[in-house]
């Protein structure tokens, strides 16, 4: 096998495809790069066919921290479980690849994408689909390729679309659209957007389809070089599960019974009827036939159910629960569903029910991310949980599965554009959506429930967000677009198209498409129908809670922010943290001081305000003319030291403690006394001179000793040793006196 390379430039970026040098024992391999970012993608297909009634495809995205020149954190210093980004990238690769395999393919397929270099300029995720497509092709695996994936951004100033923008370009973009497929067919779409219009989104999708075609053409050029170096690419022969006419005819004789069983709005009741019918049909086969056709029978039963549902929709316009194509299921919306929590909302649409709960925290509670991408972390976090009881099943409860991570990410992207900045709302925000009941589109219910929870918590969203899932049925030359699809329509339909947004525009989208005839006109109609559906849902949400609450709840931390001079940070922290710990212990507040002097203080029942005043007092510099009521903290022969603010003392000179001459400060003041003073002077070293306000009269006799001493000194001035009165008329020589 000879090594083959193909380099090319597209849309201002440099790419390279290479195969034939690494991982030669894999079925297929490709080293793909954009700029210096490089990913090795391998494909292995099992030699034996699995006894499954589904296609056993596994996709893994393996992050290696050496790709960015870092050692993994933690005790073991080894990469552990995949990050959320790694899981999302694996899903991104899986979704366009899976529908490209032929029906009945039952050999196990594993695709492993491993970034070797991440240059922190060009992303490593979208190029993995192109790498997988090349690896599958040179490995002779039968699939509908070539395939590619692109990310589309947009310059908000010029409106120019960008293909695979750099991280810097993505930060400035108002659109982040990833779409994958072939030169004529979009099979996967993910998008986050800053409230852009349906027309702009359609234009971006059309541009992205053209870009995919351009990358597919470059793959063909690589294949031509491969065949020139290694001979023709021959697709390997794999045994496919083929329909058995006898099984098909016997099962499809029950078409009318299946159609009747499907007509039930209650999910569990419908499932019971359909399963009972399937069991009855299976029982008509002998034991030997059931053994012989153990894969064919369940496949044909699933096919019967699928076509009965689809034909019902296209022929009668009626869905299994009796709704029309554009009808949304009944809604139940309850904000402020739970006591004490910072914010909550229950959202139910039909038999899909989600409870979302919002928790507010300090900014230093943001989520730190340890990935190969140049992203430190995030302050808005959304977690989605899909426990087995929500579908009436038993199962393992544990770490989130890929589906949960993907759905949580979609709801997070949907709301991120309307989350206020940390300057306007200095909190870390976490929303948890627990699916209590599911019959389709739980991710969109999570988006709606999260909006309710955020508004209930007093988070000043720019605009509320709602979402709806759209479906597509293409059967017998007819096309029907469905609003608010339920689980059966998702599973047996041709498209799952989720759209979220505000009254201003789209904030997120996700699409998985199995229909090859998805025209721009169908997409336009689906987006416009989705707009109507999500506006209907949003109106119902606003009837329940018209706007975010004006204030956060008493149970939520009240966060006060202030700016202090950076040279005062040391004073607030104190030696070994003594000062800041004392403030936190005394008030119960939590204090976060950042290097730039920003201070964020969180507490309940006025604790944050009390701690803020303590900090202001520490960093404040008294100014001339200001008046204070201070406490005497020290006494010296020349005056008293008065504490004006914590850590800020001024000198009240003995001459200013009272009216008249005072022999000792203790005659007027004692340690612990409170005294009203005014700032007279603050010198360049920060020393403060004070004057007492409303001075009392000096105590009687307080200055006598000093007056007597003064007279004695005067006599001594006129009579020096050797002098004899005032003989000779000479005047006594005066001595210079220096007041203390």
CA 246 centroid distance within chain:
53
User: Does the annotation place 586 within a ligand binding site?
Assistant: no
How many other C-beta atoms lie within 10 A of the C-beta of residue 237? 8
- SS3 of residue 384 by DSSP: strand
Q: Which residue has the tokens 């050692």?
A: 71
CA-closest candidate to residue 16, choices 129, 127, 151: 127
Dump the DSSP string for 439-451: SS-HHHHHHHHHH
CA distance 187 to 706: 101
DSSP character for 680? Answer: E
Residue 682: burial class (beta carbons within 10 Å; 0-12, 13-18, 19+): middle
Detail the DSSP E strand segments found in 557-663.
558-563, 590-593, 598-603, 627-636, 639-645, 648-653
* Beta-carbon contacts of residue 582 (< 8 Å; ≥ 6 apart): 574
What does the block give as tokens for 213? Answer: 């075609």
Backbone angles phi, psi at 173, to 5 degrees: -80, 150
Tokens of 448: 């709606």
Burial classification of residue 731, based on how many CB atoms lie within 10 Å of its CB (0-12 exposed, 13-18 middle, 19 or more buried): exposed
Q: What is the DSSP letter of 53?
A: S
Q: Considering only CA atoms, which of 237, 52, 216 is closest in space to residue 150?
A: 216
Using omega within 30 degrees of 0 as the cis cutoff, is the peptide bond preceding 146 cis?
A: yes
Q: Is residue 554 annotated as involved in ligand binding?
A: no
Q: Is 604 exposed, middle or buried, given 0-12, 13-18 or 19+ CB atoms closer than 10 A?
A: middle
Tokens of 430: 């976490």
Q: Which helix (H) or strand (E) holds 207?
A: helix 198-230
Question: Which among 343, 362, 357, 340 has a CA at the least distance from the CA of 559?
Answer: 362
Distance from C-alpha of 144 to C-alpha of 514, rounded to nearest angstrom: 13
Q: Which residues are annotated as a binding site?
A: 490, 496
Q: Which residues are annotated as a binding site for Mg(2+)?
A: 490, 496
């Amino acid at each position: 096998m000879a090594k083959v390379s193909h380099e090319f430039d597209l849309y201002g970026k440099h790419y390279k495809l290479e195969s034939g040098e690494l991982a030669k024992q894999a079925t297929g391999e490709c080293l793909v790069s954009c700029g210096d970012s490089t990913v090795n993608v391998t494909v292995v297909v099992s030699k034996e066919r699995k006894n499954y009634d589904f296609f056993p495809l596994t996709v893994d995205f393996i992050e290696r921290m050496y790709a960015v020149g870092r050692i993994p954190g933690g005790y073991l210093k080894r990469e552990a479980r995949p990050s959320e980004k790694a899981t999302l990238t694996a899903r991104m690769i899986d979704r366009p690849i899976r529908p490209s395999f032929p029906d009945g393919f039952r050999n196990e397929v594993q695709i492993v994408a491993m970034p070797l270099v991440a240059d922190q300029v060009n992303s490593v995720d979208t190029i993995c689909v192109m790498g997988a497509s090349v690896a599958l092709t040179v490995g002779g695996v039968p699939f509908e390729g070539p395939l590619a994936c692109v990310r589309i951004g947009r310059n908000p100033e010029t409106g120019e679309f960008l293909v695979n923008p750099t991280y810097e370009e993505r930060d400035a973009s108002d659109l982040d659209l990833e779409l994958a497929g072939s030169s004529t067919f979009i099979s996967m779409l993910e998008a986050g957007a800053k409230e852009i219009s349906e027309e702009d989104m359609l234009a971006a999708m059309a541009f992205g389809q053209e870009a995919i075609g351009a990358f597919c053409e470059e793959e063909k050029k690589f294949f031509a070089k491969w065949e020139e170096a290694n001979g023709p690419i021959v697709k390997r022969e794999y045994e496919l599960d083929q329909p058995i006419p006898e099984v098909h005819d016997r099962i499809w004789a029950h078409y009318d019974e299946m159609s009747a069983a499907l007509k039930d709005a209650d999910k569990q009741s419908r499932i019971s009827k359909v399963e009972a019918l399937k069991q009855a049909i299976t029982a008509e086969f002998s034991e030997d036939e059931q053994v012989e056709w153990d894969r064919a029978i369940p496949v044909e039963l699933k096919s019967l159910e699928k076509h009965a549902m689809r034909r019902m929709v296209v022929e009668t316009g009626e869905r299994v629960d009796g709704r029309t194509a554009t009808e949304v299921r009944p809604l139940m919306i309850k904000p402020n569903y739970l006591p004490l929590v910072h914010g909550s909302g229950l959202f139910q649409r039909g038999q899909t029910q989600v409870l979302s709960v919002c928790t507010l925290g300090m900014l230093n509670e943001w989520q730190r991310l340890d990935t190969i991408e140049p992203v430190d972390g995030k302050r808005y976090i959304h977690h989605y949980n899909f426990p087995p009881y929500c579908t009436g099943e038993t199962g393992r409860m544990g770490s989130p599965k890929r589906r949960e991570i993907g759905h949580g990410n979609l709801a997070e992207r949907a709301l991120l554009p309307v989350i206020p900045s940390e300057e306007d709302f200095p909190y870390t925000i976490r929303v948890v959506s627990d699916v209590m009941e599911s019959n389709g589109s739980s991710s969109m219910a999570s988006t709606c429930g999260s909006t309710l929870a955020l508004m209930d918590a007093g988070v000043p969203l720019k605009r509320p967000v709602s979402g709806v899932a759209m479906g597509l049925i293409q059967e017998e030359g007819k096309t029907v677009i469905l609003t608010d699809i339920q689980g059966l329509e998702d599973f047996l339909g041709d498209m799952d198209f989720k759209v979220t947004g505000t009254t201003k525009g789209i904030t997120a989208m996700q699409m998985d498409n199995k229909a090859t005839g998805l025209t721009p006109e169908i997409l336009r109609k689906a987006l416009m129908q989705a707009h109507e559906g999500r506006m209907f849902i949003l109106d119902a949400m606003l009837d329940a809670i018209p706007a975010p609450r004006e204030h956060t709840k008493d149970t939520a931390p009240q966060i006060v922010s202030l700016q202090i001079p950076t040279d005062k940070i040391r004073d607030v922290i104190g030696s070994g943290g003594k000062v800041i710990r004392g403030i936190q212990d005394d008030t119960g507040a939590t204090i976060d001081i950042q290097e730039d002097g920003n201070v964020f203080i969180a507490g309940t029942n006025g604790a944050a305000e009390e701690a803020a005043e303590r900090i202001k007092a520490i960093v404040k510099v008294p100014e001339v003319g200001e008046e204070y009521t201070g406490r005497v903290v020290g006494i010296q022969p020349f005056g008293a030291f008065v504490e004006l603010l914590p850590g800020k003392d001024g000198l009240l000179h003995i001459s200013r403690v009272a009216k008249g001459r005072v022999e000792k400060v203790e005659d007027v003041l004692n340690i612990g006394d409170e005294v009203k003073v005014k700032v007279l002077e603050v010198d360049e070293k920060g020393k403060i001179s004070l004057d007492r306000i409303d001075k009392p009269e000096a105590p009687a006799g307080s200055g006598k000793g000093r007056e007597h001493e003064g007279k004695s000194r005067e006599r001594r001035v006129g009579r020096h040793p050797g002098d004899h009165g005032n003989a000779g008329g000479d005047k006594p020589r005066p001595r210079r006196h220096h007041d203390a």
